[in-house]
A = this chain, B = another copy of it.
Amino acid sequence: MKFMDKFRMIVEKNNSLVSVGLDIDKQRMPIFLFEEEKDPFFVFNKSIIDATKDSVCAYKINMAFYELYGTKGFDILERTIEYIPKEVLVIIDGKRNDIGNTAKMYAKGLFENLKADAVTINPYLGFDGVKPFLDYTNKYSFVLCRTSNKSAGDLQNIKSGNVPLYENVAKKIKGWNSNGNCGAVVGATYPEELRKIRTILGEDITLLIPGIGQQGGNIEKTVKYGTNKEKMMAIINSSRGIIFAGEDRDFADKARNTTILLKKSINRYR
């Protein structure tokens, strides 16, 4: 099934633009899981998925947290993806990038072996590093455009004439979208930039928007500026704000409540 069809179906079913980021950060996970469980990371992910799967459109899995644990981490990653209901989008957030010959290996690993519906990629190497991902026409690739972090502007704000780099990247993304499967990552922490990028990209490109919750992005502006006219084409991610909402035995309930609250807050503006 094409990414866009799956995206529309799950948004309709769960009435949600929320993505939950499954970042297994040991420092912030409930301690009792490590004392009582043999497989604490997977149990954590399983509990979060069970508690939120009817309130989200996607799960975002940041590779960094799994890569940290080597083969063991990769195994948890694979089992987590397998456990996610088939109707919910799996976004693998690896920000991968390389020259074409090598990018092809990343694309194959993520889309074919790990069965991601979508990935995040970094545009610094230009089109031939992006193309191997876009060649998977049923899949979706979110290109970093304006990131959510404090020093995002170090490179992204460098101006060419009056145009900052992130706007030039947005224009590239629009040009790279000939298969209809090239999106953009734009942080909710920069609402003005989000507005400008949506204007450049038009109606048909999906945005992946991190930075809500822990990072402090404003929900009203995120929905207003990030979605298109039909109030679609945006996936709004919260990771730490949801999965670490509780640190005791009720962590999954708290994650569920926070997810539902976020979903409702977003839908208020749709």
Contact = CB atoms under 8 A, between A and B. Distances in A.
Main secondary structure of the interface of A (DSSP, over half): helix
A95 interface: yes
A144 B124 contact: yes
A113 to B, nearest CB: 6
B68 A113 contact: yes
Nearest to A67: B109
Nearest to A175: B154
Contact of A95 (B78, B109, B122): B122
Interface string A89-121: 000000111111011011011000110000000
Given A67-B109, A113-B70, A124 B123 contact: yes
A25 B102 CA distance: 9
Given A70-B78, A78-B71, A126 B109 contact: no
Interface stretch (A37-45, A156-164, A190-198, A225-233): A156-164
A122 to B, nearest CB: 5
A124 B158 contact: no
Given A122-B97, A147-B125, A149-B128, A102 B154 contact: no
A172 interface: yes
Interface residues of A, number: 53
Contacts of A160: 158-160
A169 interface: yes
Interface centre among A23, A68, A123 (most CB of B within 10 A): A68
A148 interface: yes
Interface in A147-192: 147-156, 158-160, 165, 168-169, 172
8 contacts: A64-B106, A68-B109, A99-B148, A122-B122, A124-B155, A125-B151, A126-B154, A155-B169
